[in-house]
Amino acid sequence: MTTATTPLSPKTGRSHLQENLFSWLAPEATPSPAPEPEQKTAPPPEPPAAKQETPDLSHVWVAAAEVEVTPKIASIADYRGSFKAPEGMRIDALEVYCKGCRRPYDEVRGLDCTAKIDNTHLIGGDQTKRAKRKIPIPPPNARIIPGGTINRRGITAYVSGVSRPKR
């Protein structure tokens, strides 16, 4: 293997290799631009924000169905929770409703899905207004005998048999 080398002259040496690398450090002799005059008018208004995407409030329709299956498919469906229906099988829909708000198709057709807006209808309304607990009324001939307090917390509760059976 041979390499070609060029002899370096004592005038240039190796400095010519380094000149281009650090030329950006030297200050340029260009005149600095004149400072911009102060702007006395208001800056231009910012462009309007990009349109926010509207959330998809459409219903997801599902159908409760009744399908007659063979005993083999019935055992598979019972074990797995699903099964494959043969091609061309006719399936009777018992009810069509929204998967989100669980309301029938004919009641909410054309309306937004309330589950995607606010899901309080599924949890029984506003949970901040809770009904008071009902205290059971003893029978008229009953006599209430006050008892001692039961410690249900700490090591003494464990030792006394609250969280485990007594020996």
pTM for the model stands at 0.41
3-class secondary structure, 65: strand
pLDDT in tens, 80-125: 999 988 888 888 999 999 988 888 999 988 888 888 887 666 666 6
Alpha-carbon 94 to chain mean position:
32
pLDDT in tens, 120-152: 666 666 677 777 788 888 899 988 888 888 777
Query: What pLDDT score does 107 carry?
Result: 92
Alpha-carbon 27 to chain mean position:
55
Report yes or no: 144 and 136 within 8 Å, Cβ to Cβ.
no
The total of other beta-carbon atoms located within 10 Å of residue 69's CB is: 14
- pLDDT band, very low/low/confident/very high, at 56 (cuts 50, 70, 90): confident
Number of H helices and E strands in the chain, helices first, is 5, 2
Alpha-carbon gap, residue 151 to 100, rounded angstroms: 45
pLDDT in tens, 61-87: 999 988 888 999 999 999 999 998 888
Alpha-carbon gap, residue 139 to 20, rounded angstroms: 104
What are the angstrom distances between the C-alpha of 88 and each of 76, 84, 91? 20, 12, 9
Residue (of 94, 85, 88) closest to 62 by Cα position: 94
3-class secondary structure, 109: coil
Report residue 41 as tokens. 């008018």
Q: Which residues contact 76 (CB under 8 A, 6 or more apart)?
A: 83
Report residue 133 as tokens. 């607990």
